[in-house]
Amino acid sequence: MPRDPLIGLVGKPSSGKSTMLNSLTDASSKVGKFTTIDPQRAIGYLQVDCACIRFGKSDECKPNYGSCNSGKRSVPIELLDVAGLVPGAHAGRGLGNKFLDDLRHADALVHVVDVSGTTDAEGKNTRGYDPSQDIIWLRGEIVQWIQGNLIEKWGSIKRRHVALKASSVDTLQGQFSGYGSNQAMVARTLDKLQLKTPLESWDQETIEKVVNAFTDEKFPTVCALNKIDHPDADKNIAKIAKRRDPNTIVLTSAISEVFLRKLAKQGYVKYVEGSDFVDTREDLIADGDPDGGGLKELDDKLRTRVENLKDMVLYRFGNTGVVQVLSRAAQLLGLVPVFPVRNVNTFSSGANSTGVFRDCVLISKNSTVKDVARKVMGDVTIAYIEGVGGTRVAETDIVEVGKNDILTFKVGKV
């Protein structure tokens, strides 16, 4: 059955990766039982547009897991903390072998980069370090790891390929399956390259092109440029932005997000994770609420920190970027939220169920209705499937946002 997507977090020591992970997995305000899975895996929350807003039912939306705030739904998604990132990992340096072994399980990566330039390649304190080098050598480690394994066996790979009269896709899938690939992924890699030369005649340059293209396909990466409130961050951000696709960059201040959520939990501020503003008691009183929203009074030290955070992060960049990191990773993967219901007219989960759109699952792009059925219902026999209003939908129909993304499955023989 289709498995749930897995997002891997990578970053050198002192990059802020642990803080980022803590902010992504803070489930204190969420409904449900998802917390830490094991020391390396945890549940984060991806913010998506909930179906409830389309039908004016946001007040009735009660997710079984996660939460929904005015149509912004937090959906559980699995995260993997990939430890051991240091230069030379592909050669076994540090925790290199474990790092790369863990990495292969991820569907997408979030690379937390210390954009302040105050830590060197190994996470030691310095000044003036170029953080763009971290992005270059992470990709280099992955490419060298895959390429080294491939070239080491290339002679026998070619002989077997010719003997079996196999296709290039089948031969490469046999080598890349250990990195979590599938036939479709390998086929897309080769389609992009449009190679005319048969596999048995590939030279070193062609192998490098294939490995680079496969790395792009298997490990789509979001660069979370962290510590954006540092004075040296601007020049480093500008340098990185010139070299990378803007859709793969998110500006973040993980420590600011953690700080704001802590204050909100303690009753000092009003803050919704990922939003572009934070309200203090004084702000709410100034807006006409004499009780200040019931918030506690900030002392001078906390007030100064909040005002500095507003100026240096929220006003300048619009938000802390933490929520946007997972959203961007989901965009790279093309994840589609689907809402299984029992009743496609009321959107409830059953006769005795309260609330609407109780469940939400994440499906890969280009998935069919049948793929959703297998993910939600397993191997039970489905008689037919209905969409909004009771309209029958075909198993082969593609699921997209706003199209075939609200479904009910009728169990039984056809």
Query: What is the predicted pLDDT for the residue at 41?
Result: 84
User: Which residue's structure tokens are 């200040």?
Assistant: 292
Given a contact cutoff of 8 angstroms between Cβ atoms, the answer to whether 371 and 406 are in contact is no
The domains of the chain are located at: 141-217, 254-320
Average pLDDT over residues 209-226: 96
pLDDT beyond 60 at 35: no
pLDDT beyond 50 at 36: no
Q: How far apart are CA 361 and CA 371, in angstroms?
A: 12
Q: pLDDT grade, residue 315 (50/70/90)?
A: very high
Q: pLDDT grade, residue 264 (50/70/90)?
A: very high
Kind of pairing between the strands at 249-251 and 221-226: parallel
- Portion of the chain with pLDDT greater than 70, in percent: 92
The CATH architecture annotation of domain 141-217 reads Orthogonal Bundle (1.10)
Q: What is the full DSSP assignment across 184-212?
A: HHHHHHHHHHT--S-GGG--HHHHHHHHH
CB burial of residue 51 (10 Å; 0-12, 13-18, 19+): buried
Write the single-letter amino acid at 126.
T
Query: What is the predicted pLDDT for the residue at 32?
Result: 40
Q: How far apart are CA 348 and CA 256, in angstroms?
A: 38
Q: pLDDT grade, residue 371 (50/70/90)?
A: very high
Q: How far apart are CA 47 and CA 108, in angstroms?
A: 17
Write the single-letter amino acid at 307.
E
Q: pLDDT grade, residue 34 (50/70/90)?
A: very low
Separation of CA 26 from chain center = 15
User: What are the residues facing 81 on neighbouring strands?
Assistant: 9
Strands (E), 62-189: 67-69, 72-81, 108-114
Non-local (6+) Cβ contacts of 105 within 8 A are 6, 8, 80, 180
Q: How far apart are CA 294 and CA 218, in angstroms?
A: 49
Non-local (6+) Cβ contacts of 305 within 8 A are 259
Query: What is the predicted pLDDT for the residue at 90?
Result: 62
Average pLDDT over residues 265-287: 94
Query: What is the predicted pLDDT for the residue at 39?
Result: 56
Kind of pairing between the strands at 36-38 and 6-10: unpaired
Given a contact cutoff of 8 angstroms between Cβ atoms, the answer to whether 371 and 343 are in contact is no
Query: What is the predicted pLDDT for the residue at 31?
Result: 41
Query: What is the predicted pLDDT for the residue at 209?
Result: 96
User: Which residue's structure tokens are 């390429």?
Assistant: 147
Of 408, 411, 377, 403, residue with least CA distance to 1: 377
Q: pLDDT grade, residue 37 (50/70/90)?
A: very low
Of 166, 219, 232, 227, residue with least CA distance to 189: 219
SS (H, E, C) 286-343: HCCCCCHHHCCCCCHHHHHHHHHHHHHHHHHHCCCCHHHHHHHHHHHHCCEEEEECCC
Given a contact cutoff of 8 angstroms between Cβ atoms, the answer to whether 95 and 202 are in contact is no
If you compute the radius of gyration of the chain from its CA atoms, what whole number of angstroms results? 24
Q: pLDDT grade, residue 166 (50/70/90)?
A: very high
pLDDT tens, residue by residue, 84-142: 666 776 666 555 567 777 888 899 999 999 999 999 988 899 999 999 999 998 899 88
pLDDT tens, residue by residue, 14-33: 899 989 988 888 644 444 43
Query: What is the predicted pLDDT for the residue at 91?
Result: 64
pLDDT tens, residue by residue, 71-85: 999 999 999 988 766
CB atoms within 10 A of CB 2: 14
In angstroms, what CA-CA distances link 129 with 10, 113, 114, 254, 400? 19, 12, 10, 20, 43
